[in-house]
């Protein structure tokens, strides 16, 4: 498929869906989640699993409890017989009664904010013993990193606070084995969180739809003289918590080491980046604030041919190749062929899994033999870089679903299925992108790229079908 197979066209924008209801995880889903975790514990011969959480790293904890500890730290101690204990600071004790997994609760004031009451006569070791850490021989600790490939023995590296780790060690008998067991949750090969049922896909589609709808609204509002803050305000949606820093950046990013939308005004010809993400999906765009190539500076006037179309070719190739059963290295190899690293300088995995976090893990890497599975949620994440040019970005979220899962979604969530069907039809009929039946767009803007942001009715499309 040559780059000449793509061109700019005047087309309608994707449909967006506003004011959708959130989909609550069912009790059955929580039971399935706990069962999957217990099965993985048994397969690793773990007597107990200690799950660490804080605000930034609460996904594994939330997977079973339904909440994160916000500004405190917390532990979920799950024993092999299914008994669960929550170790909570002062301001999360009230949440224990609402845990989706029934659990005993013990108080650990050390997890609270500075200078709050520390009213206890117990040590943290004693608190952990009261939570059932006593005579186990093999205990797993789940932080949020796998360390895969980084160390020869990644099971002996831990990413939790030292004072917590030392207390766990002290609570257990001499000779007990402590293992990094984050893979119970997020191994791309067998992690419990990497495969989703119909209820979970519906739950996460809410965030993917929310992010992509807000992003398209913000793109429509981009105009010279407006500030980054004006555009960023349109990305805030339904009062939901973002799971990455929101980006609305014009011109050169990171001036004064700033990460956040500022009062900087959009100027003609600026580079522009926009990103918003909620649980279940991120949408990101990068392009130029112009109507056409004629408005670009002479040294980047070939941006469409040098960056945007080659990148779009890679994204279309990714979308049309991906399906259940494809191995991780096959996707990596495909992108390397279509968009060579040596020329386009992308570095990270070209695609990764999402869930409550924007980046859960990735089955896609140069040597990965991991087959993509039904129930996986994937973010299209290919980041080209050509010196002197703006980037190009159309990051969005899809799900993979085999026939049985598709039928379940259509039966249980007909309104969701109608949105998925409409998104697939837009990709096929407007953008000329042919998806496998397994591919379910969860973002409204999958495959939609405006390289010139002031030409709001113009986007790249495929003009030549692959032979």
Say what the pLDDT of residue 467 is.
38
Is residue 236 domain-shared with residue 377, that is, in the same domain? yes
Is residue 389 domain-shared with residue 270, that is, in the same domain? yes
* Phi, psi dihedral angles at 265 (to 5 degrees): -90, 145
Structural domain contains residue 249 = yes
Is residue 158 domain-shared with residue 299, that is, in the same domain? no
Structural domain contains residue 33 = no
Is residue 285 domain-shared with residue 142, that is, in the same domain? no
Residues 400-417 as b/e (b if ≥16 CB within 10 A, e otherwise) read bbeeebbebbbebbeebb
Q: Which of 180, 208, 226 is the last residue in one of the domains?
A: 180
Is residue 197 domain-shared with residue 159, that is, in the same domain? no
pTM, two decimals, is 0.96
CATH number reported for the structural domain that contains residue 372 in this entry: 3.90.230.10
Structural domain contains residue 74 = yes
Write down the residue that tokens 């101690």 correspond to: 77
Structural domain contains residue 354 = yes
The answer to whether the beta carbons of residues 276 and 282 sit under 8 Å apart is: yes
Structural domain contains residue 27 = no
Residues 6+ positions from 257 with CB-CB distance below 8 Å = none
Rounded distance between C-alpha atoms, residue 282 and residue 353, angstroms: 11
Q: Which of 180, 204, 221 is the last residue in one of the domains?
A: 180
Is residue 233 domain-shared with residue 282, that is, in the same domain? yes
Q: What is the DSSP letter of 308?
A: I
Q: Which of 148, 180, 212 is the last residue in one of the domains?
A: 180
Structural domain contains residue 407 = yes
Structural domain contains residue 39 = no
Rounded distance between C-alpha atoms, residue 274 and residue 261, angstroms: 10
Say what the pLDDT of residue 465 is.
59
Is residue 281 domain-shared with residue 410, that is, in the same domain? yes
CATH number reported for the structural domain that contains residue 107 in this entry: 3.40.350.10
Is residue 122 domain-shared with residue 250, that is, in the same domain? no
Q: How many domains in the chain?
A: 2
Q: What is the pLDDT along the chain (467 residues), one digit of tens a residue?
A: 666 799 999 999 999 999 999 999 999 999 999 999 999 999 999 999 999 999 999 999 999 999 999 999 999 999 999 999 999 999 999 999 999 999 999 999 999 999 999 888 899 999 999 999 999 999 999 999 998 765 556 888 999 999 999 999 999 999 999 999 999 999 999 999 999 999 999 999 999 999 999 999 999 999 999 999 999 999 999 999 999 999 999 999 888 899 999 999 999 999 999 999 999 999 999 999 999 999 999 999 999 999 999 999 999 999 999 999 999 999 999 999 999 999 999 999 999 999 999 999 999 999 999 999 999 999 999 999 999 999 999 999 999 999 999 999 999 999 999 999 999 999 999 999 999 999 999 999 999 999 999 999 999 999 965 53
Is residue 7 domain-shared with residue 85, that is, in the same domain? no
Is residue 176 domain-shared with residue 197, that is, in the same domain? no
* Phi, psi dihedral angles at 460 (to 5 degrees): -75, 140
Q: How many other C-beta atoms lie within 10 A of the C-beta of residue 12?
A: 9
Say what the pLDDT of residue 272 is.
97
Is residue 61 domain-shared with residue 202, that is, in the same domain? no
The answer to whether the beta carbons of residues 435 and 420 sit under 8 Å apart is: no
Is residue 446 domain-shared with residue 340, that is, in the same domain? yes
At CA 381, angle to CA 195 and CA 370, rounded to 5? 40
Structural domain contains residue 38 = no
| Residue range(s) defining the domain that contains residue 78 | 45-180
Say what the pLDDT of residue 119 is.
85
């Amino acid at each position: 498929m040559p780059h000449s197979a793509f061109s700019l066209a005047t087309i309608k924008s994707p449909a967006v869906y506003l004011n959708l209801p959130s989909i609550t995880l069912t009790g059955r889903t929580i039971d399935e989640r706990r069962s999957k975790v217990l099965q993985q514990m048994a397969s690793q011969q773990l007597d107990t699993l200690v799950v660490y959480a804080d605000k930034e790293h609460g996904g594994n904890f939330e997977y079973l409890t339904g909440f994160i500890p916000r500004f405190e730290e917390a532990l979920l101690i799950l024993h092999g017989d299914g008994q669960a204990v929550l170790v909570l600071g002062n301001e999360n004790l009230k949440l224990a009664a609402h845990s989706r997994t029934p659990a005993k609760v013990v108080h650990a004031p050390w997890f609270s904010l500075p200078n709050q009451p520390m009213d206890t006569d117990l040590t943290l070791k004693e608190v952990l013993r009261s939570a059932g850490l006593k005579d186990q021989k093999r205990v797993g600790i789940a932080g949020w990193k796998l360390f895969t490939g980084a160390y020869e023995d990644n099971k002996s590296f831990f990413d939790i606070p030292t004072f917590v780790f030392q207390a766990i060690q002290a609570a257990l008998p001499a000779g007990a084995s402590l293992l990094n067991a984050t893979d119970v949750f997020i191994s791309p090969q067998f992690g419990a969180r990497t495969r989703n049922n119909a209820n979970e896909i519906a739950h996460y589609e809410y965030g993917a739809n929310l992010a992509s709808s807000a992003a398209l609204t913000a793109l429509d509002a981009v105009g010279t003289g407006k500030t980054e803050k004006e555009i960023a305000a349109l990305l805030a949606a339904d009062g939901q918590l973002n799971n990455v820093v929101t980006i609305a950046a014009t011109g050169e990013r990171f001036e004064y080491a700033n990460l956040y939308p500022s009062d900087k005004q959009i100027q003609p010809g600026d580079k522009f980046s926009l990103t918003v993400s909620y649980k279940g999906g991120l949408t990101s765009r990068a392009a130029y604030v112009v109507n056409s190539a004629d408005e670009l500076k002479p040294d980047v006037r070939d941006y469409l041919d040098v960056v945007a179309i080659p990148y779009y070719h890679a994204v279309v190739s990714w979308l049309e190749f991906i399906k259940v059963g494809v191995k991780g290295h096959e996707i990596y190899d495909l992108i390397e062929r279509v968009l060579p690293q040596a020329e386009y300088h992308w570095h990270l995995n070209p695609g990764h899994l999402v869930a409550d976090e924007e980046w859960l893990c990735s089955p896609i890497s140069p040597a990965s033999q991991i087959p993509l599975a039904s129930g996986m949620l994937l973010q299209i994440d290919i980041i080209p870089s050509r010196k002197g040019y703006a980037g190009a970005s159309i990051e969005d979220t899809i799900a993979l679903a085999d026939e049985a899962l598709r039928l379940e979604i259509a039966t249980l969530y007909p309104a969701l299925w109608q949105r998925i069907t409409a998104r697939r039809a837009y990709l096929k009929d407007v953008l000329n992108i042919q998806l496998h039946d397994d591919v379910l767009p969860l973002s409204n803007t999958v495959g939609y790229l405006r390289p010139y942001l002031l030409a709001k009715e113009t986007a790249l499309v495929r003009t030549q079908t692959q032979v």
